Structure 1
Amino acid sequence: MTPTTLGSISREHRRSYPTGIAVVDDQYRLTWPEFDDRINRAAHALQSVGVGAGDRVLWLGQTSFRVFELLGACAKLGAMVCPANWRQSGEEFAFVIDDFDPKVVVWQEEEIGDAVRAARKLTQRDPVWWQHDTEGEGSYEGSLAAQGTDDPWGPVDVTLPLLVIYTAAIGGKPNGSLLTHRNLLAMAHESSYLTRSTSDSVFLNSGPLFHIGNFQWDALAVYVQGGTNVFVRRVEAETVLEIITREGVTSAFLMPPTITQITQLYDPAEHDVSKLRGGAFTPLWNGLLAEDTTLWGSVPGGFGQTEVSGLAVVNGHGGRGIGNAGRPSPLVQVRIVDADGKEQPVGESGEIVIAGDVVHAGYWNRPDINASRMREGWWHTTDLGRREPDGTIHFLGTMTRMIKSAAENIYPVEVETCLEQHPAVREAALIGVPDPQFTQSVKAVVSLVDGAEVTADDLIEHCRQLIASYKKPRTVEFVSEIPKRGGAKDYDALDAQFGGGGYPGGDNVRA
């Protein structure tokens, strides 16, 4: 028996949709046969430099169809690919390179070339480097052009990791979540059901490919259904509106600030958004879009995390109930447990633990964390919830603190560690302050070394140099001492003193 893997999808689609458009990206407009040919060329190029089952490919670049090309190629080889956060600093890139130990790094010069070069000087690894936004020697395109298009047929285990997304900065450093073929196909079919994706669907990949959200809503759903994935290098409202009009986009990964800009730029004489559905954000389009009658559009929201392939519990199953997150998908089991792993009665709060086809294969190279989080076949989410009498799940909040800024998850310990590397800082604590546009903004509370002097702008710039810019504090408050409770930083006291709040939980859902 030959199981279906993600590599099987383009193999079959080239036969089933010979004239269908698979991807659109700037000057590239590829049919499924043309796209599968490129996937095969990429697979051979990777093989030529030693990539095989279990090996790793790292993408250091912005949104591009080449990420999906590499996903298809690695799928056929049993390898895995990681699209890293392109907003990171050179130090952060170097950490991922050293941690992930890729055989090949595909990188981009435009906008992030300086950070990549800085990482190359810092890393202890020696991968093959291919630049994707150039041609000739040392280029990604040159490496593909030298290869044939024959399909590298061979059995691939559906439980092998394929997509790796760095997330969950436990202990101050991020961890690579290993998503398998089975995980990604389960995610795609669930999303297809909720969004009614078909071969006529056109999805705009305007979200970051280092974030699970873009893959779930609706990149992989459209991919497995034989539709068209359109890619835009970075999100600029005017460009996005032009692409929606030109390509007849039916869905897109857009956040409220961009939607607001698009509605301000919209001109009915020039733009056409008639095919677009707004999903959870339809009301923000101010009447420009028709009502979204899909399950995701009519009852959006749910609970999930990267480690369970996106949203594992959604309101689209069984309609909106008492709980704010809905019910588990048919491929998911959920329990609410106490600290000893004992299931809690209905109405009692506890940790949300999940089993099923959506649970990832653990974090790359983190055996201790994996052992503590995956116990007796259940993934411990470190999120708090309860089962309601109608069977729905209510998400109460994270058991470890997290700040939500637009679509980004910011883990305080990572930024605190960065701040505390400054010679003037004795101790730092991070809180989230409600923000009407971005959900929360980041505020640092800092105590200084005796006699030291430093400004808020100095500390913000210090962070900007060492970590991704979106993580840096927007504001800094100076205190003589960080309040403590039980020997640990008292974040509740800091929230009360400096206006913190709006953390994921309550009527919000985690993604």
Structure 2
Amino acid sequence: MNITQHLQRNARHSPDCESTICGDRVRNWAETRERVARLAGALRSLGIGSGDRVAILSLNSDRYVEYLFAVPWADAVITPVNIRWSPAEIAYSLVDSGTGTLFVDDAFAPMVPALREQVPGLRTVVHCGDGPTPEGALDYERLIVEHGPVEDARRAGDQLAGIFYTGGTTGHPKGVMLSHANLVISAMAAAAAGEFLTPGGRTLHAAPMFHLADLFTVLIRNILGGTHVTVPFFEPAAVAQTVEKHQVTDVLLVPTMIQMLLDAPGAAEADLSSLQRLIYGASPISDSLLSRAQAALPGVRFTQAYGMTELAPLATYLCAEDHADPVLRRSAGRAGPNVEVRVVDAEDQEVAPGVVGEVVVRGGNVMLGYWNRPAETSDALRGGWMHTGDGGYLNDRGFVFLVDRLKDMIVSGGENVYSAEVENALATHPAVAQCAVIGVPDPELGERVHAVVVLVPGATATQEELRAHCKALIAGYKAPRTSEFVDAMPLSGAGKILKRELRAKHWPEAGRAIG
């Protein structure tokens, strides 16, 4: 198994079919294969050898798609860089991974001088933008023109395909090592499930392509045939217009993106009738937002995907039909065809249905380990199961119900409070646009349930009103005792709310750090 094999297949079976659409630039599968083979030839001519790491720091584009396949074609390893990171964080990942070659587009080319200073091993920079090539960098298109195609190295199986850095919620980010088999097994399982992308359809890459969730959809699309449509980044009106213009059938969005899309005036005016499937995940979605999205997109099949980078990334999914059940729609669905899922206690013993414990996963999608972190790898993979750090329970039909990240659980007055449950209650208030619940220091309770809220434009609400609203839905000790109102939430590059930043101003003075 290798991630280039379905690119090869599409070039043979449907060479004239459109493979990528990026703005007004359209290429077919035969052209994409030729460009990938030539770019791989260029990389080899630059001295890149087996297993060398090649990074990319770029907005979404058709060239990003080509990079993902040209690097393994050249027998090297992809290392996508989080575009939301600071230069220091980017430099850390490049040094940690031992990356010697970096692709950059126009948006990030100005960072190159600083990165060269901070990353002594950075030997080669390839400019993959449309503007002028910066001094000291190589031109992407010129490399393709000047180098002949080479044979696919067919790096495969348990060989390292990529290093994908986690968000770094505590300390430095960790490099997750995924093999070709990890990635292909996960993508093929999703394709076999029939709940993710439309066979032969058009997938819009609006989520950041550095994130493994988007690479997951790239691989599924290659397996099922069809076309990759890219926009540089998520902007609601542009996404809606692209769906209409290019008759997009499938899209992956995180809940914050779904909300922004529904709220954008330009999106409401666009014809989204071509959409057939919407995959969502990465963070919890409120029932009110999900209901609103389903009403706005009545012809779309919604699939929730739950997983993590270490699982390449799929663990479970909730199919469209199960969304009709008011109980099951609060679950993360059932295990994918390629995995086993169970819930265990602190001693790694499986617990009974309905009992909260840690969700653990086993299967061919589970990572090789953390780059240069053997002790953390051993701990995460103890007993042959990937320990997700997520708290949840299984029902008697195998549906996974997540209650919180274990580290996010709030212990208030001796009671365990799961922030996701409180957030679901808060989100049903008509004035609440976004919310996050954290624990903050309290002299009597140890931790106090605290809500951070973004209000709907023009709406008002008070702390007391939100507490009363929650107490009508959940136990009183779970309802937020305090609230703060903010204009916007801090978000990761994947669109997740960064709770560590929300906690930061509350915990330093208490002498305690929480991830």
Common topology (TM > 0.5):
yes
Greater Cα offset, 29-38 or 101-110: 101-110
Counterpart of 2:393? 386
Matching residue's letter, 1:237: P
Q: Is the 8 A contact 2:3 2:219 kept in 1?
A: no
Q: CA 1:14/1:325 → structure 2, altered by over 3 Å: closer, same or farther?
A: same
Deviations 1:125-182 (A, max 9, x none): 23311111146662222222211134x1444332222233211526411112222222
SS of structure 2 residue aligned to 1:307: helix
Contact 1:318 1:326 in 2 (8 A): no
Confirm whether residue 126 of structure 1 aligns to residue 131 of structure 2.
Answer: no
Matched, 1:371 2:378: yes
Q: In 2 relative to 1, CA 284–228 (structure 1 residues): closer, same or farther, beyond 3 Å?
A: farther
Partner of 1:148: 148
Residues 286 and 478 (structure 1 numbering): CA distance in 2 closer, same or farther, change over 3 Å?
closer
Once residues 436 and 334 of structure 1 are traced to their aligned partners in structure 2, the CA distance between those partners, rounded to angstroms, is 37
Measured in 1, the distance between the counterparts of 2:267 and 2:321 equals 38
Task: Confirm or deny: 8 A CA contact 2:237 2:265 kept in the other structure.
Answer: no
CA 1:335/1:479 → structure 2, altered by over 3 Å: closer, same or farther? closer
Please state whether the residue corresponding to 2:38 is helix, strand or coil.
Answer: helix
Contact 1:257 1:437 in 2 (8 A): no
Contact 2:72-2:154 within 8 A present in 1 as well:
no
Q: Give matches, 1:400-415, under 5 Å.
A: 400-401=407-408
1:195–1:116 Cα change, 3 Å: farther
Q: Is the 8 A contact 1:41 1:144 kept in 2?
A: yes
**Structure 1 pair 479/239, CA: closer, same or farther in 2 (3 Å)?**
closer
Shift of the alpha carbon at 1:256? 2.3
Q: How far apart are the structure 1 equivalents of 2:28 and 2:305?
A: 34
Residues 325 and 392 in structure 1, CA contact (< 8 A), matched pair in contact too:
yes
User: How far does residue 264 in structure 1 lie from its aligned partner after superposition?
Assistant: 4.5
Indicate the SS of the match to 1:162. Answer: strand
Match of 2:358 in 1: 351
Q: Which moved more, 1:351-360 or 1:234-243?
A: 234-243
Alpha carbons of structure 1 residues 357 and 286: separation in structure 2 relative to 1, 3 Å? closer
Instruction: Assess, with a 3 A threshold, how the Cα gap between structure 1 residues 437 and 33 changes in structure 2: closer, same or farther.
Output: farther
Using the TM superposition, give the Cα deviation of residue 28 of structure 1 relative to its aligned residue in structure 2, in angstroms. 2.3
Q: Counterparts of 1:56-95 in structure 2 under 5 Å?
A: 56-95=53-92
- Unaligned segments of structure 1, at least 5 residues: 413-429, 439-462, 492-511
1:260 aligns with 2:262: yes
TM-score, normalised to structure 2, is: 0.73
Distance 1:18 1:164 in 2: 30
- 1:399 has 2:402 as partner: no
Shift of 1:200: 2.9
Cα distance in 1 for residues equivalent to 2:399 and 2:455:
29
- Corresponding residue number in structure 2 for 1:292: 300
Partner of 2:319: 316
Q: How many residues are paired up?
A: 427
- Matched residue of 2:176: which SS? strand
Q: Please state how far the C-alpha of 1:342 moved relative to its aligned partner.
A: 2.2
Q: Any idea what SS the aligned residue of 1:348 has?
A: coil
Distance 1:481 1:70, change over 3 A: closer
Aligned-partner SS, 2:47:
coil
Q: Equivalent of 2:106, from 105, 109, 130?
A: 109
- C-alpha contact 1:89 1:115 (8 A) present in aligned 2: no
Partners of 2:451 and 2:33 lie apart in 1 by: 45
Q: CA deviation at 1:265?
A: 4.4
Cα deviation, 1:166-219, whole Å, max 9, x if unaligned, reads 115264111122222222222322333343634531111111112233234x33
The equivalent of 1:205 in structure 2 is 205
What is the alpha-carbon distance in structure 2 between the residues aligned to residue 103 and residue 89 of structure 1?
19
Q: Which amino acid aligns with 2:29?
A: W
Measured on the aligned residues, the alpha-carbon RMSD in Å equals 3.7
Structure 1 residue 232, shift from structure 2 partner: 1.0
Deviation of 1:39 (Å): 0.8
Does structure 1 residue 307 correspond to structure 2 residue 310? yes
Identity %: 25
- 1:11-57 superposed Cα distances (whole Å, 9 cap, x missing partner): 11111112111111124211000000011011111111222322111
Structure 2 CA distance for partners of 1:275 and 1:335, relative to 1, 3 Å? same
Q: Distance in 2 between matches of 1:436 and 1:379?
A: 38
Q: Is the 8 A contact 1:23 1:31 kept in 2?
A: yes
Moved more, 380-389 or 136-145: 136-145
